[in-house]
Amino acid sequence: MSQDISKEQHRLLHILQLNNLLKGICLGVIVPALWYNILALQATSSWFQLGVAALESLQIIGKLMVFMNRQWCFSKKVYISFLFVALLASCLYCVGFHLGNFYGLCAFSASLALHGIWIGCVSKIEIICVNSYYVKTKREQATKSIKLYKGIGLILGPLLGFAGSYYSLTVSGYLIDVGTIPGYIQIICVLIMIIAMLFFYPSIRLENLNSKDKGTDHAETFRHETITSYSNSEKIVNQVGNWHLAIFTVMLLGFIFYLSKSLKKVALPILLLATPHEFKCVSELSLSVDGVYIAFAIEGFLDTIGSFLSYNLNPVVDNRYLVFIAVIFIGVGQALMIWTSIIPTWAFIVSMVLQSFALPFGLGNTECLFYSKIGYRPGSEYTVSYMMLELLGSLIGPFWTVQAYEIKCELCFTFILIWLCFAFLLLIASFTALAYEKKKDLVRASMMGLNQSQSGLYNRSQVIEMKDAAKGKGIKTL
């Protein structure tokens, strides 16, 4: 029986790896293709910011939908239904090119909205599946491998779009429009995922696995579903200082990180492709649409590195130090994007590299701190509030960016820098509060240990251990 379960787990992992590779390709090819078609249809930048806002924000809504309907996570039919949503989105993507300017752009925006929903829902379902179907010792390894395949997809997607922009395809005498090739790439990827889910997805049962993972119950599984790739949550709980200060800090950081993420996704092509009469701020580095594909491939590579560093450094480095690094990198990157109207090439490259590396790094560690502090309870008002702030940041980021570059770029980006500085100060306050609370806890533990040892509530070794801990901190004991 255990061997059968192990085989089913391996097959499940292979399916999720394949799906994440193909999902990464879809996500990596879609945003550069969006900008290409906006230029081809001679539309305004408002369509682009609308598309990016829909793509980013609806991913958060999709995750929230799964969060509120956990029974979806263990149904193959639900997973496949979201893949059919992806297929519909890909078809709309292709049809939009033959409907004219306005209707084509509407179809394209609807396609992006559907892409955001299916990517967000499927990603959340996969996270919960990994945490439910794998024992503790194998979860981290499985999650890392899945993230690796998605990172490879994020690199391959723009590269396939780049290759497709150079080579025209003819099928049965029909010439495929170069602009529709990304849509056909997505259709092929989604069809492969549907076939894999229909014929190869294992019929694995959650109740069969719970008996093998005796240290994990349903509540603990759900608590760790988002932070499973990070280290011991109990250690993290002890790292956070004052409770309300910690919650406020990580919520602010989550909002800023998602705002910066959507902001960067718009700023990258705008600064590379905009002409001086369109925006007040432009970059000295000017690329064609093909160059933007390469830029997005490099961004996917840096995102993958940032994610894996977040996984590997978390067990040995305090989460707040890692968030410190992410805040500093993003602040420097934002500052380089506003310090002059014509951004030098070196400043643009350094800014994008720092932000591409720091955003997944910061988001992962911020979520780790947040969920480990409040737990992962269905219906938790704190969790929903955090996701709403993520949604708000994803929504306003694209519009914020375009307005900033069209009107007064220094003003809007300066607000982000102010928020980053405020979050930086809150992190310092959290460190200070933690040090003060630890000192109080050591004194309290020392006094309780000495007093209660006489009544037998603590054994001798525990008392000696607490006294040694107190003396190591320079605290006097009785």
* Tens digits of residue pLDDT in 83-100: 899 889 888 888 877 776
Predicted TM-score (pTM) of the model is: 0.72
Gap between the Cα atoms of 264 and 354, Å rounded:
11
40 half-sphere exposure, CB direction, 13 A CA radius: 19
Domains of the chain with CATH codes = 1-225 (1.20.1250.20), 232-435 (1.20.1250.20), 436-472 (no CATH)
Show the DSSP H helices in 407-459 as ranges.
Answer: 409-452
Residue 110 has pLDDT above 80, yes or no: yes
**What's the token pair of residue 133?**
């179907």
Percentage of the chain lying above the pLDDT 90 cut: 1
Amino acid identity at 27: L
**What's the token pair of residue 428?**
């310092």
Instruction: Evaluate whether 145 touches 13 at the Cβ level (below 8 Å).
Output: yes
Q: What is the DSSP letter of 459?
A: -
Instruction: Evaluate whether 358 touches 333 at the Cβ level (below 8 Å).
Output: yes
Please name every residue paired with 343 in a beta bridge, in sequence order, or none if there are none. Answer: 283
Burial of residue 362, with CB atoms counted within 10 A of its CB: 0-12 exposed, 13-18 middle, 19 or more buried? buried
Cα–Cα nearest to 223, from 215, 323, 315: 215
With a CB cutoff of 8 Å and minimum separation 6, the contacts of 185 are: 25, 26, 29, 157, 160, 161, 164
Gap between the Cα atoms of 145 and 153, Å rounded:
13
For the CA atoms of 422, 428, 434, 437, the dihedral, rounded to the nearest 10 degrees, stands at -90
pLDDT value for 15 = 86
CA distances from 410 to 247, 288, 341, 406, 421 (A): 30, 26, 9, 11, 16
Pairing state between β 282-283 and 342-343 = parallel
Q: Give residue 174's pLDDT band: very low, low, confident or very high (50, 70, 90).
A: low
Instruction: Evaluate whether 278 touches 292 at the Cβ level (below 8 Å).
Output: no
Instruction: Evaluate whether 285 touches 349 at the Cβ level (below 8 Å).
Output: yes
pLDDT value for 334 = 76
Residue 323 has pLDDT above 70, yes or no: yes
Worst-scoring range by mean pLDDT, 19-33, 154-168, 300-314, 434-448?
434-448
Instruction: Evaluate whether 417 touches 331 at the Cβ level (below 8 Å).
Output: yes
Cα–Cα nearest to 134, from 125, 143, 147: 143
| Mean residue pLDDT across the chain | 71
The mean per-residue pLDDT over the stretch 371-392 comes to 66
The mean per-residue pLDDT over the stretch 297-311 comes to 80
240 vs 280: which has the higher pLDDT: 280
Gap between the Cα atoms of 163 and 322, Å rounded:
37
**What's the token pair of residue 315?**
């067990």
Q: Give residue 374's pLDDT band: very low, low, confident or very high (50, 70, 90).
A: low
Query: What b/e readout covers 234-248, taking b as 16+ CB neighbours within 10 angstroms?
Result: eebeebbbbeebbbe
Give φ, ψ of 459 to 5 degrees.
-85, 175
Q: Could you identify the residue written with the tokens 């390469």?
A: 294
Gap between the Cα atoms of 337 and 348, Å rounded:
7
**What's the token pair of residue 72?**
């979806």
Q: CA end-to-end span of the chain, whole Å?
A: 58
Q: Give residue 235's pLDDT band: very low, low, confident or very high (50, 70, 90).
A: very low
The mean per-residue pLDDT over the stretch 1-14 comes to 68
Please name every residue paired with 176 in a beta bridge, in sequence order, or none if there are none. Answer: 169
Give φ, ψ of 122 to 5 degrees.
-65, -40
Please state at what angle helix 136-164 crosses helix 2-40, rounded to 10 degrees.
30
Cα–Cα nearest to 413, from 405, 235, 44: 405
Q: In a 3-state reduction of DSSP, which class is residue 375? A: coil
Instruction: Evaluate whether 394 touches 61 at the Cβ level (below 8 Å).
Output: no
The mean per-residue pLDDT over the stretch 220-242 comes to 41
Gap between the Cα atoms of 111 and 141, Å rounded:
34
163 vs 407: which has the higher pLDDT: 163
134 half-sphere exposure, CB direction, 13 A CA radius: 23
Q: Give residue 287's pLDDT band: very low, low, confident or very high (50, 70, 90).
A: low
DSSP codes joined into one string, 309-360: HHHHHTTTS-HHHHHHHHHHHHHHHHHHTTS-SEE-HHHHHHHHHHHHHHHH
With a CB cutoff of 8 Å and minimum separation 6, the contacts of 331 are: 417, 420, 421, 424
Q: Give residue 369's pLDDT band: very low, low, confident or very high (50, 70, 90).
A: confident
Instruction: Evaluate whether 273 touches 292 at the Cβ level (below 8 Å).
Output: yes
Show the DSSP H helices in 203-277 as ranges.
Answer: 206-210, 218-223, 233-239, 243-273
166-170, 302-306, 430-434, range with greatest mean pLDDT: 302-306
pLDDT value for 204 = 57
